[in-house]
Structure 1
Amino acid sequence: MTRRRWIYLTLVAVPLLFAVAGPFVAGSAPAQRQAPFESSQWSPFGTDRLGRDVLAAALTGGRTFLLVAALTVLGAYVVGFLIGVAAAAAPRAWLDELLMRPIDVLLCLPSLLIIMVAALRTRGSAVAIACAVGIALVAPIARFVRMAARSVVHGPVMDALRMQGESRAYRYGNYAAREMIRPIAADLGVRFTTAVYFLASANFLGLGFDTTSTDWAVSVAANKDALTIAPWSVALPAGLIVLLVVGINLLCDDLLADPRTIATRTARASESP
């Protein structure tokens, strides 16, 4: 494994460790509140506006945030994938139009507007906001999958398989999966980043979790006014979000890079003094 990949894995591993193991570690933090925006008895990061230890809050604020983001992306991708593949494989042009024109209308709607309407209608329900984020993601996912699938379904290899009398399951299950796995896996990383952005924006605007929650985005919004006197109350949760987003995209780019590109990069590195 290259040094570059180790760096990318580290970027992703730090926030994931906070989210997975954080609540167990935070259990040893003192339960009583301390003075707001002062030094803490438990960690060097100080306290937040509610007198909670900043490190303890960061350790407990990532699990729900990341779980909601992951489930939202998976749900949106299942729906968008089915629509995109069905449109790409449609035997008639009118069926493709029937599937994709509502998607085009959905693309015209501002994503944050959809989220804000869902939040206001449901009084900030986290489930409703997650569903709104999923709806906002379905349209671009369906368009991307349709584009990726059309060149596979209507390509020369698929035509050759049809002429050879191969079964439908083989055509669409084996060959199509091999051809589409790389772009779709890369797109999953982008959509996860988008979901994190939308959820963080909603929480930052006070539309998601309760304002006293230790959620990373809520912590950034709640403590932003004290950035100059208690910088870690903002920098730590914000840094974890940035590490996760940047790390996932860099890791996806590295893992899913074209083998020819990797070979060229390796050859150049070996030739350099």
Structure 2
Amino acid sequence: MTTRRWIYAGIVAVPLIVASTGPFFAGAAPTRRQAPFGPSEWSPFGTDRLGRDVLAAALTGGQTFILIAAVTVALAYVVGAAIGLAAAAAPRAWIDELLMRPIDVMLCLPSLLIIMVAALRTRGSAVAIACAIGLALIAPITRFVRMAAKGTVRGPVMDALRMQGESRTFRYGNYTARAMARPIAADLAIRFTAAVYFLASANFLGLGFDTTSTDWAVSVAANKDALTIAPWSVVLPGGLIVLLIIGINLLADDMLADPRTLAARRAVRADRHG
């Protein structure tokens, strides 16, 4: 791994480590409430609006947030990829049209509106909000997978495999998976970013988790009015969200870059040092 990639991996690791191991360390924090937006007995980050230690709240607020975003993206990608592949491989044009026209209608619906309706109708159910976010992601995922798969399942390599008498499983499984692995992996990072954005927006608007939750997005929304007197109550959870998103996208860009582009970069660096 290059130095740049290690740096990007380190950026991603910070919020992931905080979310996964945080609850264990937060157990040592005092359970009694302290003065709101004042100094804390346990950490130098002070307290939030409910008198909880800011660091302890941040340590316990990322697990559910990240888990819901990850599971939502995974399920949305399963559904979207299945529809997109089916449309790309459809033997008749009308089948492609039948599958994609409802997707076009879904693309016209404002994503935040879908999430707000689901949250209001279910009184902020986390499951309903996750389903609404997944529904908002299915349409763009389907469009992307169909576009990426069209040149693969209808391309010359597939025609050659078909003429050689290869099995259907091999044609549409092995080759398609290898050909589409890079673009789909890159798109997954984008969709995860979108899921985090939607989830954070819902929580920031008070439509997601309970407003007394230690969730990172809820903490930002709940403490934003005290940014000048207790900045860490907003900066710490907000910074963890930013690190997660920036790190994932930087790491994905670096790992999934075109090999020819990487070779050109290495050649340029070699010329400079030479």
Q: TM-score when scaled to structure 2?
A: 0.99
Q: Deviations over 1:122-163 (max 9, x none)?
A: 111110000000000000000000000000000011011111
Residues 1:99 and 2:99 are matched in the alignment: yes
Q: Which residue of 1 aligns with 2:204?
A: 204
Q: Which residue of 2 aligns with 1:63?
A: 63
Residues 1:169 and 2:169 are matched in the alignment: yes
Q: Which residue of 2 aligns with 1:158?
A: 158
Q: Which residue of 2 aligns with 1:195?
A: 195
Q: Which amino acid aligns with 2:95?
A: L
> Quick one: distance in 2 between partners of 1:177 and 1:129?
31
Aligned alpha-carbon RMSD (Å): 0.6
> Quick one: distance in 2 between partners of 1:29 and 1:264?
51
Q: Which residue of 2 aligns with 1:246?
A: 246
1:44-193 equivalences under 5 Å are 44-193=44-193
> Quick one: distance in 2 between partners of 1:26 and 1:266?
45
Query: What secondary structure does 1:272 align onto?
Result: helix
Identity %: 79
Query: What secondary structure does 2:49 align onto?
Result: coil
- CA shift at 1:270, angstroms? 2.0
> Quick one: distance in 1 between partners of 2:87 and 2:196?
28
Q: TM-score when scaled to structure 1?
A: 0.99
- CA shift at 1:263, angstroms? 1.1
- CA shift at 1:62, angstroms? 0.1
Residues 1:2 and 2:23 are matched in the alignment: no
Residues 1:41 and 2:41 are matched in the alignment: yes
Q: Which amino acid aligns with 1:173?
A: G
**Equivalent residues, number:** 273
Q: Which residue of 2 aligns with 1:214?
A: 214
Q: Deviations over 1:25-46 (max 9, x none)?
A: 1001111111110111111111
**Structure 1 outlier segments of 4+, above 3 Å:** none
> Quick one: distance in 1 between partners of 2:71 and 2:163?
40
Residues 1:226 and 2:212 are matched in the alignment: no
Q: Which residue of 1 aligns with 2:20?
A: 20
- CA shift at 1:165, angstroms? 1.1
> Quick one: distance in 2 between partners of 1:241 and 1:266?
32
> Quick one: distance in 2 between partners of 1:23 and 1:61?
9
Query: What secondary structure does 2:209 align onto?
Result: coil
> Quick one: distance in 1 between partners of 2:20 and 2:269?
37
> Quick one: distance in 1 between partners of 2:112 and 2:38?
35
Query: What secondary structure does 1:4 align onto?
Result: helix
**Where does the alignment leave 5 or more consecutive residues of structure 2 unmatched?**
none
**Where does the alignment leave 5 or more consecutive residues of structure 1 unmatched?**
none
Q: Deviations over 1:180-209 (max 9, x none)?
A: 000000000000000000000000000000
> Quick one: distance in 2 between partners of 1:36 and 1:3?
42
> Quick one: distance in 2 between partners of 1:194 and 1:244?
12
- CA shift at 1:266, angstroms? 1.3
- CA shift at 1:86, angstroms? 0.2
> Quick one: distance in 2 between partners of 1:170 and 1:2?
35
